Structure 1
Amino acid sequence: MATVVTAVESVLEARGIEKSYRRGVWPVARRQDVLRGVDLALRPGEVVGLVGENGSGKSTLMKILVGALRPDAGTVAVSGRLGYCPQEPVFYERLTCDEHFELFGRAYKMSAEDERRSRRNLYAALGFERYAGTRADQLSGGTLAKLNLGLALLGDPEVLLLDEPYAGFDWDTYLKFWDLVAGRRQAGRSVLIISHFVTDEGRFDRIVQLRDGRAGPR
């Protein structure tokens, strides 16, 4: 079980994270070690990429960092607010984009004025304000990805964790995404991005690779 404490020098710090799963059916079931003592730290204003092959444990580690999954061992330290953009968009089919923002704003305990201001800025930054009144079940995959990212950014978190955030983005939205990331770096916010592969290495401060259940420099 992870112990959540307050990080001092890092806004997020994971130490000795271990996670395994049992595969197969008894009596031939076997244990598969996915994470074998992962250490990872994220400093203020840092943009870090987390890469690895399919099945290397990237999404498992991300779920542990945000508290959605318990590790078998290790500690997670977080300082400040945490924003999370999962690989698969989380949405309510019958709610419009506006209604999603209102709902998440209440969950973040934002004032109505702050929520509306942040929502307007995110619509403009990602270019999907024309879908404000559209129900989620009527949105394209690319627009759902924008909504998914916008909800993670709504509360202006100090730490932003993104799992394959730009899957489904067109080129224009991809560039807008990196403008948002650059703005967060300038504001001293930190971003951790999971990706199967990294093409724009110059946009990252560091790239960490998961290999054989452990994290290290690429």
Structure 2
Amino acid sequence: MHATSELTSSKRVVLAARGIDKAYKRGPWPARRMLPVLADVNFSLRQGEVVGLVGENGSGKSTLMKILVGALAPDAGEVERAARLGYCPQTPQLYERLTCDEHFELFGHAYGIDSRREREARHSIYVALGFERYARVRVSQLSGGTVAKLNLGLALLADPDVLLLDEPYAGFDWDTYLRFWDLVAERRISGRSVLIISHFVADEERFDRILDLRDGRTVPR
């Protein structure tokens, strides 16, 4: 899936992080101290790119993702968003008493999608990820793998230009893992961008670029 540098550089930037710093207070009061997590993070994502951001647990990956989507404010730096974002968090934000269908309806309303378009998109997502038989099942009764599919499906619902995925395939079986990469490839072909944050990368050839998050900074691999 690697693109040539000339082709990649000709695409417009759809998401950029510049000089991002973030630190958290740690330790008991009054001896609390600031622990840096991100330090001058800089990177950009271009139209049609699939980029991996890899780091060990505790390296600040999820903190950076929350800053990118606007769920967390950085201590310094800025994020520029030039396209509509879809966000798949590492920990699903779901309602145990609602079914999969009801989640899609709720999120579709929040996205401002009309009912017909939402139903069509929902059906396509069910088929693509293979969990249509769970459409009327409550989240509390779903397996972890199906919850992961619903979590991803909700991020895909509005067909965003940029898809931000935090450990998206942690609960997938092999078949779903392959389906996931088929979806990513289709989005790339259509000019949409995908950023995948994970603690490991098994298939480097599926990415255009991979960045490592080390000591709070992004380093090209």
Q: Same fold (TM over 0.5)?
A: yes
Q: What amino acid sits opposite 2:22 in the alignment?
A: K
Cα distance in 1 for partners of 2:202, 2:43 equals 22
The residue number in structure 1 matching 2:22 is 19
Cα distance in 2 for partners of 1:139, 1:186 equals 32
CA displacement 1:167-196 (0-9 Å, x = unmatched): 110000000000000000001000000110
Aligned-pair identity (%): 73
The residue number in structure 2 matching 1:129 is 132
The residue number in structure 1 matching 2:165 is 162
Structure 1 residue runs of 4 or more that deviate by more than 6 Å after TM superposition: none
Task: Map 1:1-218 onto structure 2 (within 5 A).
Answer: 9-218=12-221
Cα distance in 2 for partners of 1:138, 1:160 equals 27
CA displacement 1:33-83 (0-9 Å, x = unmatched): 000110010000000000011111100000000011110011111112110
How far has the Cα of 1:26 moved from its partner? Answer: 2.1
How far has the Cα of 1:138 moved from its partner? Answer: 0.5
How far has the Cα of 1:94 moved from its partner? Answer: 0.8
Cα distance in 1 for partners of 2:116, 2:42 equals 39
Over aligned residue pairs, what C-alpha RMSD do you find? 0.9
User: Which blocks of at least 5 consecutive residues in structure 2 are unaligned?
Assistant: 1-10
User: Which blocks of at least 5 consecutive residues in structure 1 are unaligned?
Assistant: 1-7
Q: What amino acid sits opposite 2:128 in the alignment?
A: A
How far has the Cα of 1:113 moved from its partner? Answer: 0.9
Cα distance in 1 for partners of 2:30, 2:99 equals 49
Q: What amino acid sits opposite 2:39 in the alignment?
A: R
How far has the Cα of 1:31 moved from its partner? Answer: 1.0
How far has the Cα of 1:216 moved from its partner? Answer: 1.4
- Aligned residue for 1:11, secondary structure, equals strand
TM-score (norm 2): 0.94
Q: What amino acid sits opposite 1:14 in the alignment?
A: A
Q: What amino acid sits opposite 1:61 in the alignment?
A: L
Cα distance in 2 for partners of 1:143, 1:176 equals 13
- Aligned residue for 1:215, secondary structure, equals strand
Cα distance in 2 for partners of 1:194, 1:44 equals 18
The residue number in structure 1 matching 2:4 is none
Cα distance in 2 for partners of 1:30, 1:197 equals 30
How far has the Cα of 1:27 moved from its partner? Answer: 2.4
Figure out how many residues of one structure are paired with residues of the other and give that number. 211
The residue number in structure 1 matching 2:7 is none
TM-score (norm 1): 0.95
How far has the Cα of 1:10 moved from its partner? Answer: 0.6
Q: What amino acid sits opposite 1:133 in the alignment?
A: R
Cα distance in 1 for partners of 2:93, 2:66 equals 14
Cα distance in 2 for partners of 1:121, 1:9 equals 28
